[in-house]
Amino acid sequence: MKPPSVDRLARSLEHVDLPFPLLVESVREAVRAGDPDRAEEMAIRRTRQLLQPVINATGVLLHTNLGRAPVDSELRGAYQSLEYDLSTGARGDRSVHAAALLALVTNAEAAFVVNNGAAAVMLTMRTLAHNQDVVVSRGELVEIGGSFRVPDVLTESGARLVEVGTTNRTRCADYERALADERFDVGAVLKVHQSNFRLEGFVEEASVQQLGALPVPLIVDLGSGLLDARCPWLEGPPPAWLAREPAVKQTLASGADLVTFSGDKLLGGPQAGIIAGNAELVAKCARQPLARALRPGGQVLALLQSTVLAYLRNEGDRIPLWRMAGADNDSLRQRGLAVARAGSIPTDRVSPTTAVMGGGTLPGESIPSWGLHLPSSFSELLRNQTPAIIARVHRDQTIVDFRTIDPADDTFVAKVLAGLDGPW
């Protein structure tokens, strides 16, 4: 039985917007800590543990801890034509919407959507090279963010790794030697984009064109999901910071049989993984029993579909990530000045900053931006707002970077700043 005091204390907290069991949990935690007076503080802290929208003022466009690409998260409570054919009234196919559009925009024969990039690589390897060998350059046995390690993913998929070349140099002949070696039964060649680091100096790698000509399927794990190097969805030419980033469309055109990439990196959509390329190989992946365990839900497919429709209309401004990444730098300065004035902060606190793409993409590349420079102690005050404003702390300063803030949130940011005291 519940001690009556816990119940009473929890009832006294009903002004905190939480279901009763969570209030009870908070009271218990305070009692356990020997300080029942802190129950309210615990309950408020519990509300902060719920998944909620935040304002990203870090200047990191794909902030891994803030869900990478910004997407709408509203639950609309509607049914969807997920697997229902509206023309015939018969059972439909969940590959005709988002997946079909992704194929169209990248000029792939077909595409298949799974839960994330890691799942896309895993499913591809499991389908094409289970109990077989996969040839990978030693320079591409990489680790990407939260525990995605190429050798481990291969092992889990039941494929055997054959390493070729060296850390800095791998030639096509290295792959050819492995293919000719009769100890190996090679199911595929895997080329992995070194997403989050850069090798400089005495380096060499085999091109997609060369590897695509080999007699086994070439799978390229691109990771970031830049759909087209020409960026036709942007008004001007492709930005300089994209110059080294391989794109899906061009990689397929160069001879990759399949490419894999994430939905929530440079694609700017929800968390998802995409396998695109040769129709027969894509269909084989889709038929693999593991595919069922890796499939995303309708909400994800709906978000992905609206993202890709914007690409097909060449309307980058409809994709929040590209709207932010492509915003004119002077407009960021103007917004910074307006927010400073509205918040009664000296305008000399507004100065240039350096934003980055983040999310394990575009290492070493920076994107010019403008931000408000505040004392470092302000980061906690900003974080404690609802919605929380997550700023960047750099060299004893809290920087509120406007490149990653939705302009619709400027008024809120200004209001919060107006309530804070200097010293400036």
Ligand X SMILES: *Cc1c(COP(=O)(O)O)cnc(C)c1O
- Binding status of residue 191 toward ligand X by CB under 6 A: no
- Binding status of residue 402 toward ligand X by CB under 6 A: no
Q: Which stretch binds ligand X (CB under 6 A): 111-119, 172-180, 233-241, 250-258?
A: 111-119
Binding residue (CB under 6 A) for ligand X from 67, 129, 159, 221 = 221
In terms of Cβ atoms closer than 10 Å to its own Cβ (0-12, 13-18, 19+), residue 15 is exposed
Cβ-based nearer residue to ligand X, 218 or 372: 218
Cβ-based nearer residue to ligand X, 118 or 304: 118
Binding residue (CB under 6 A) for ligand X from 144, 256, 339, 381 = 144
Binding residue (CB under 6 A) for ligand X from 22, 42, 118, 219 = 118
Cβ-based nearer residue to ligand X, 28 or 193: 193
- Binding status of residue 148 toward ligand X by CB under 6 A: yes
Cβ-based nearer residue to ligand X, 316 or 360: 360
**For the chain, what is the radius of gyration of the CA atoms?**
25
CA distance 31 to 39: 8
- Binding status of residue 246 toward ligand X by CB under 6 A: no
Residue 330: alpha-carbon gap to chain centroid = 27
Cβ-based nearer residue to ligand X, 56 or 262: 262
CA distance 114 to 183: 33
Residues numbered 261-290 forming contacts with ligand X, rule: CB under 6 A: 262, 273
- Binding status of residue 124 toward ligand X by CB under 6 A: no
Do residues 214 and 189 touch, judged by C-beta distance below 8 A? yes
3-state SS class at 127: helix
CA distance 128 to 262: 20
In the 3-class helix/strand/coil scheme, how is 289-311 assigned residue by residue? Answer: HHHHHCCCCHHHHHHHHHHHHHH
- Binding status of residue 23 toward ligand X by CB under 6 A: no
**Nearest approach, Cβ of residue 371 and ligand X (Å):** 27
CA distance 145 to 143: 7
Task: Single out the residue of 211, 217, 213 nearest to residue 170, CA to CA.
Answer: 211
**Nearest approach, Cβ of residue 55 and ligand X (Å):** 23
**Nearest approach, Cβ of residue 278 and ligand X (Å):** 19
Binding residue (CB under 6 A) for ligand X from 139, 187, 223, 316 = 223
**Using CB under 6 A as the criterion, what x/- string covers residues 297-316 for binding ligand X?**
--------------------
Q: Enumerate the β-bridge partners of residue 133.
A: 160, 186
Q: Concatenated DSSP letters for 302-335?
A: HHHHHHHHHHHTT-GGGSHHHHHHTS-HHHHHHH
| DSSP state at residue 343 | T
Q: How many residues bind ligand X (CB under 6 A)?
A: 16
- Binding status of residue 208 toward ligand X by CB under 6 A: no
Q: Which stretch binds ligand X (CB under 6 A): 5-13, 191-199, 238-246, 329-337?
A: 191-199
- Binding status of residue 192 toward ligand X by CB under 6 A: yes
Cβ-based nearer residue to ligand X, 219 or 391: 219
CA distance 18 to 39: 13
CA distance 38 to 29: 9
**Using CB under 6 A as the criterion, what x/- string covers residues 354-393 for binding ligand X?**
------x---------------------------------
CA distance 225 to 69: 12
Task: Single out the residue of 305, 326, 242 nearest to residue 105, CA to CA.
Answer: 305
- Binding status of residue 117 toward ligand X by CB under 6 A: yes
Q: Which stretch binds ligand X (CB under 6 A): 87-95, 219-227, 281-289, 395-403?
A: 219-227
Do residues 371 and 336 touch, judged by C-beta distance below 8 A? yes
Encoded tokens for 141: 């046995």
- Binding status of residue 116 toward ligand X by CB under 6 A: yes
Binding residue (CB under 6 A) for ligand X from 106, 124, 195, 369 = 195
Residues near ligand X (CB under 6 A): 116-118, 121, 144-145, 148, 192-193, 195, 221, 223-224, 262, 273, 360
